[in-house]
């Protein structure tokens, strides 16, 4: 995988995580204001989904590395991704 591709993946991941961070700060503000519990629950759900999407993007990056790097054994990388997915999902 080229440095440009890696940098693009990193940039996308950091942007996605910054959005999640903003959602979490929004949740904190809602709680401090005493907003309605259902509204807070809705924001929690959105934040969790956004974080899950960032995690899935990271897993896809691992798979792309395996597919695009002829020096990596795709089977080993797939097993690594499977282990990460099983352990942390």
Single out the residue of 5, 4, 12 nearest to residue 58, CA to CA.
12
Reported as a pLDDT band with limits 50, 70 and 90, residue 85 is confident
- What are the tens digits of pLDDT across the range 66-75? 777 778 787 8
Dist. CA 87–CA 79, nearest whole Å: 12
Residue 43 has pLDDT above 80, yes or no: yes
pLDDT score of 55? 87
Model pLDDT for residues 24-41, shown as the tens digit of each residue: 999 999 999 999 999 999
DSSP string, 43-87: HHHHHHHHHHHHHHHHHHHHHHHHHH-TTS-HHHHHHHHHHHHHH
Q: Which residue has the higher pLDDT, 28 or 64?
A: 28
State the pTM of this model: 0.73
């Amino acid at each position: 995988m080229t440095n440009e591709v890696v940098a693009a993946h990193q940039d996308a991941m950091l942007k996605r995580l910054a959005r999640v961070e903003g959602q979490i700060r929004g949740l904190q503000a809602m709680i401090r204001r005493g907003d309605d519990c259902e509204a807070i629950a809705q924001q929690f759900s959105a934040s969790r989904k956004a974080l899950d999407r960032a995690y899935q993007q990271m897993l896809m990056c691992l798979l792309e590395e395996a597919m695009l790097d002829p020096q990596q054994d795709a089977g080993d990388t797939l097993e690594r991704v499977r282990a990460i997915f099983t352990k942390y999902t």
